[in-house]
Amino acid sequence: MQLRKIVRLYFVLLLVAGIAYAEENTANGGNIIGKIRDIKQNPIIGVEVKIVSSDGKTFTVISDADGNYKFSNIPAGRYTGNYHKKGYGSRTGPSIVVDNGRNHGVQHIMHSTKDIQKIQILVHHIADNIGVLFDLDALEVKALRQSMQISIENVLEYDQNLMSMVLNSRHRKGVEILDALLTHSEIKNTIAKHLNTQQLKDYIDFTKTRQKNAQQACIHFIAVLLEQSLSLSIEQKDRIIQLLIESKDADKQLTLENLISEPLQNIVNLINNELKLSLDNILNQTQLELWKVMLQIYEEERHEFGDVVGIEVLEAPMDEAIEKPERQKKQLQVKSKEEIRESLLWQLAKTALTAHTERLGLQNEQDLRRLDLASAGVAHQFVETQDIYINSRVPFVEDSSNIIMAVMASSITREDAIKKLNTIAQDLQEKRTNNQEIVDVSDKTVNPLYHHTLNNMFFDRISYVLNNPLYQHAIRDVLPEEAYTQYIEKETERIAFLQQASRDLVVANIDIYLLLNENQRKHLETAAAQLTLPIISNDGLTYMIIKLFLSAATETWSPWQQLQVVNGG
């Protein structure tokens, strides 16, 4: 009997000890409470969350509709987390140390497979360019790719601005993205592990040089365009270049977007309103008058006018080619929008021609009178044929836009696209030469492209009148043969400078957006040497850009570069 009591007591003690051990063991565990979201902070349901302890034990849960998950009563220790869902791929998170009796909160952002691919192709492009620049072998480039991929994915989890720039890169300049990556300490340190100190410095300097070259291309293009439009001397052009270089706000305002993505009259706004630069000490009186007319046209085209407005205009003479400039008086009149435009266009053409005549250095009154009569006739002809002039551009703008869209949609071969681009450029030149009207003037009120070309051909107007056959024939008649030969040589040289400035500008633009390697840049520069700017406008520059891109075979461009072009970069 006594023995039976002893055995019963023994089992009771064992049971109590077991319960106490179990309670103590639970107290030594902890909870992991997490939430999983995408880059837009939306919760992700159905993510398989797996944690593995240092001794190999595995625990698995699934995130709920709110993206939440929980591991309860997990033994204390260090765990590695892995997250997986179809469409998002797999991701290994940072280690989690579980303490006894504590809750551990964890936040995760998972990138979709599409986002991961975007990061991968960007990383591949940057790493490959670094490899080419410093002659790294394939294994070194592969290691750099892997390190950068992990580093960028980690950084994107907490840096929302960088995330937006990298993953939503539509219309983003590649140099902006690269600069943001290089200025992030974690990513910069990752790259530094694969390059020596000098190589890292050289790569950062290389990126800065790319931006500096783009700004220099902008300055050169602006100066050459003003040289053409204002009939500047070489000395005046050089002084404007220096003025732009020394401007304290030039770094912020002199961007390729101002010259390519927007109408070229932005140059006038840039110098006068943004940089607030004065040309008074550079231009002569006639050139200053022309500059003021440009400002008036910029303001007239920028603002919406009513049916009638009051504006100070320079009246065109009633007798087309008789009135002397000194008899043209400024008058304040009430005019319709169309009358204002015609008056301003007449002033633009006549003053541009006068400035060009003055540059010839003629002294003979009869010769000056002859050129003045020709200038007045050209100015009137230009105003009267504005619709024909504008309509000659509408098909070019429309057709080139359609070709670009077709290329982006892969619905046309590169070879056919180049042929079509060549055809529309040739058609434009023929229509300009023959003054051929190809769109009914009555269509202008309903054709948006009419207004697009009207507001997007500022400097092309001046080029058009300066090269008018009537005016050029008059120059030939008044200049001695030797002087005329020198004049033609100088004008040919000026046009060559403008074409080269245009080529440099478009190559710099492609470089800024697509981060060219040395081989790509050399190819584009060689291809650009064969191109001619068909219209002095952003339409003409866009034409050159797309033709340059098409000049290289598809395999020449990295997947990231092709994606940037498709996305409108």
Bridge pairing between strands 77-85 and 58-62: unpaired
Cα of 535 vs its chain's centroid, Å:
20
CA-wise closest residue to 303 among 346, 357, 341: 341
Query: What's phi and psi for 83, nearest 5 deg?
Result: -125, 135
DSSP alpha helix (H) spans, 515-556: 518-528, 538-551
Q: Of 323, 443, 431, 447, nearest to 373 (Cα)?
A: 323
Please give the chain's pLDDT, 569 residues, in tens.
554 555 454 444 444 444 443 344 445 689 999 999 887 788 999 999 999 998 889 999 999 999 999 999 899 999 988 899 888 877 777 788 998 888 888 888 887 888 888 888 999 999 999 999 999 999 999 999 999 998 888 887 777 788 777 877 666 788 888 988 888 899 999 999 999 999 999 999 998 888 888 889 989 999 998 998 999 999 999 999 999 998 877 777 677 776 766 556 778 888 888 888 999 999 999 999 999 988 888 777 666 433 333 334 444 444 444 444 444 444 444 557 777 778 888 998 999 999 999 999 999 999 999 999 999 999 998 888 776 666 666 677 677 778 777 876 778 887 888 888 888 777 776 765 654 333 333 444 444 433 444 455 567 778 888 988 999 999 999 999 999 999 999 999 999 999 999 999 999 989 998 999 888 999 999 999 998 888 777 778 888 888 888 888 878 899 998 888 776 55
Q: How many CA atoms lie less than 13 Å away from 465 in the CB half-sphere? A: 34
Q: What is the pLDDT of residues 396-424, one digit of tens each?
A: 767 777 877 787 677 888 788 888 888 87
Number of other residues whose CB lies within 10 A of the CB of residue 147:
18
How many residues can be counted in the chain? 569
Structure tokens at 285: 């009186």
DSSP string, 108-122: EE---HHHHHHHHHH
pTM, full prediction: 0.75
Looking at 28-137, list the stretches that DSSP marks H as alpha helix, in order from N- to C-terminal side. 113-134
Q: Which residues are registered as beta bridge partners of 80?
A: 52
Superfamily of the domain at 2-110: Immunoglobulins (2.60.40.10)
Whole-number average pLDDT of the chain: 80
Residue 374 near residue 478, CB atoms below 8 Å: no
**pLDDT tens, position by position, 39-90:** 778 899 999 999 999 888 999 999 999 999 999 989 999 998 889 988 887 7
Spatial CB neighbours of 69, under 8 Å, sequence gap ≥ 6:
33, 34, 35, 36, 47, 49, 61, 62, 63
Judged by DSSP in three states, 370 sits in helix
Express the helix, strand and coil content of the chain in percent, nearest 5 each.
Answer: 65, 10, 25
| Dihedral over alpha carbons 485, 488, 490, 492 (to 10 degrees) | -140
For residue 51, what are its two tokens? 């944690």
515, HSE (Cβ side, Cα atoms, 13 Å)? 31
